[in-house]
């Protein structure tokens, strides 16, 4: 079979690219060795959010008396929590499969190997076949990173993939890595009853975020009785008869039932034949230019496999950009404004420049800040912790924002729109925000730039 486009990998970069290509009139094939949706849907974003949702319900039950709701004899049924996760994943997988059929996309189940710039060999249960395409998009994603001294075994010393298939909640959990993935799982398993310790070699949790955001998250973690040790290296992790033991370079020894390795992710290109083909790689990542082209003109790459910004929504945006570069006018991919969300408790949402990054760029930033504890809606739902922080430049243009607090992952998008469109402070302050809403914290944080926040 011959196609206008063959997409290798059906994750958030690949399946979105395939659908957009079909919408533009292309004859499209997609190759996937597992279920569509990739890591995000099957082993990442969606499963963890399903667990987070169960934790949110549990938290409200525990807090019921404050709301006049007396709940007695409640229990955590981890098997049913995991069943909720599986139902959610299966429903979304079926949704993608429906979209493939609706858009007349041919799906090939199996491992892909690129034979030449226009030929892909697919090896699956039904044997091996070759398909040809005018253009190819590599969207094979990434895998969890491990290190030899951590002695990963997939049973006691595990990654984010195995932890989503546990049969029971561990009594104690060592989380190695205080980045996004580690902090999210720390929140989840603390709520479910595990005694959690987070260890990171970096000086603070989520070190790429604003320092005030990191400090507030650590404060909330300690309130939740999560032990945090930053600025210290783990020398070894060993499996024992009933758990694991970790030795830190400062002499501390940590024992736990399990260890979760949250050490970042590596681009996945196994079996694609990229070396033989001559595709340029950099530390395992497929090198692409601003148009998402590899060094071979008709072969593109999107998503985690490029090693650029490992976020599902960036992969989708890259997928659309690559397809439109193939079928329409060629334009560069823009990474300037990318909202980022961390689903800890409390949630975190960020976009654009932090105060520190703005200063590094030579700006003289103006800062506004407003706390959720002064917001009516936040108090009614008993979520008073956290704040909204706004960064504007000398011309009052909003260049960044950071939120930690209830529904931060939703609230950040008003500010992403502001940063993307270079809106000024007055564009927000002149927009009436409904009352009582959490979004009023955004308005008051912007007003605080000129110390005009009414409730501060």
392: nearest Cα among 430, 354, 443, 337: 354
255: nearest Cα among 332, 174, 142, 198: 174
47: nearest Cα among 193, 175, 164, 170: 164
Please indicate if the annotation marks 140 as binding a ligand. yes
Please indicate if the annotation marks 1 as binding a ligand. no
Enclosing H/E stretch for 395: none
- Rounded Cα distance, 265 and 260, in Å: 14
Please indicate if the annotation marks 182 as binding a ligand. yes
117: nearest Cα among 281, 274, 328: 274
Please indicate if the annotation marks 376 as binding a ligand. no
Q: Are 218 and 187 in contact (CB under 8 A)?
A: no
Please indicate if the annotation marks 24 as binding a ligand. no
Please indicate if the annotation marks 331 as binding a ligand. no
| Among 84, 407, 413, 435, the one annotated catalytic | 435
Distances (CA, A) of 81 to 47, 54, 163, 164: 11, 7, 13, 11
Any catalytic annotation for residue 455? no
- Rounded Cα distance, 98 and 109, in Å: 16
Q: Are 161 and 31 in contact (CB under 8 A)?
A: no
**Token pair in block for residue 341:** 């969300």
Please indicate if the annotation marks 258 as binding a ligand. no
Please indicate if the annotation marks 130 as binding a ligand. no
**Token pair in block for residue 122:** 């697919």
- Rounded Cα distance, 206 and 200, in Å: 10
Please indicate if the annotation marks 193 as binding a ligand. no
- Rounded Cα distance, 197 and 188, in Å: 13
Please indicate if the annotation marks 396 as binding a ligand. no
Please indicate if the annotation marks 368 as binding a ligand. no
Please indicate if the annotation marks 311 as binding a ligand. yes
Please indicate if the annotation marks 183 as binding a ligand. yes
- Rounded Cα distance, 96 and 256, in Å: 39
Please indicate if the annotation marks 184 as binding a ligand. yes
Please indicate if the annotation marks 352 as binding a ligand. no
Please indicate if the annotation marks 312 as binding a ligand. yes
Binding residues for FAD: 49, 140-142, 304, 310-313
Binding residues: 49, 140-142, 177-184, 264, 304, 310-313
Binding residues for NAD(+): 177-184, 264
Catalytic residues: 435
């Amino acid at each position: 079979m011959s196609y206008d486009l063959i997409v290798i990998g059906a994750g958030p970069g690949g399946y979105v690219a395939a659908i957009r290509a079909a919408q533009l009139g292309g004859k499209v094939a997609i190759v996937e060795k597992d279920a569509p949706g990739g890591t995000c849907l099957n082993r990442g974003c969606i499963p963890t959010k399903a667990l987070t949702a169960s934790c949110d319900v549990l938290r409200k039950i525990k807090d019921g008396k404050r709301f006049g709701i007396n709940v007695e004899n409640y229990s955590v049924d981890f098997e049913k929590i995991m069943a909720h996760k599986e139902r959610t994943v299966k429903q979304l997988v079926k949704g993608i499969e429906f979209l493939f059929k609706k858009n007349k996309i041919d799906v090939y189940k199996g491992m892909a190997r690129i034979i030449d710039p226009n030929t892909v060999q697919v090896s699956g249960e039904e044997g091996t076949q070759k398909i040809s395409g005018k253009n190819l998009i590599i969207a094979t994603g990434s895998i969890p990173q491990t290190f030899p001294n951590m002695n990963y075994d997939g049973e006691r010393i595990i990654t984010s993939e195995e932890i989503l298939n546990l049969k029971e909640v561990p009594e104690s959990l060592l989380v190695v890595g205080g980045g996004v993935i580690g902090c999210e799982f720390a929140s989840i398993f603390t709520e479910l009853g595990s005694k959690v310790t987070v260890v990171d070699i970096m000086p603070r949790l989520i070190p790429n975020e604003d320092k005030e955001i990191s400090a507030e998250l650590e404060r909330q973690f300690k309130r939740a009785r999560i032990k945090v040790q930053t600025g210290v290296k783990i020398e070894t992790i060993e499996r024992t008869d009933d758990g694991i033991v970790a030795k830190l370079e400062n002499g501390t020894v940590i024992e736990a039932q399990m260890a979760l390795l949250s050490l970042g992710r590596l681009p996945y290109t196994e079996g694609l034949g990229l070396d033989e083909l001559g595709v340029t790689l950099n530390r395992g990542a497929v090198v692409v230019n601003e148009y998402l082209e590899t060094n071979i003109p008709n072969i593109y790459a999107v998503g985690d496999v490029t090693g650029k910004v490992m976020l599902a929504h960036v992969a989708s945006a890259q997928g659309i950009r690559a397809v439109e570069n193939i079928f329409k006018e060629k334009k560069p991919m823009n990474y300037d404004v990318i909202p980022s969300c961390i689903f800890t408790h409390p949630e975190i949402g960020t976009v654009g420049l932090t105060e520190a990054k703005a200063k590094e760029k030579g700006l003289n930033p103006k800062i506004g800040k407003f706390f959720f504890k002064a917001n009516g809606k936040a108090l009614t739902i008993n979520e008073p912790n956290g704040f909204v922080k706004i960064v504007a430049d000398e011309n009052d243009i909003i260049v960044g924002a950071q939120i930690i607090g209830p529904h931060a992952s939703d609230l950040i998008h008003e500010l992403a729109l502001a940063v993307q469109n270079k809106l000024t402070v007055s564009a927000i302050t002149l927009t009436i925000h409904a009352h009582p809403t959490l979004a009023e914290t955004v308005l008051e944080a912007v007003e605080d730039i000129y110390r005009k926040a009414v409730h501060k």
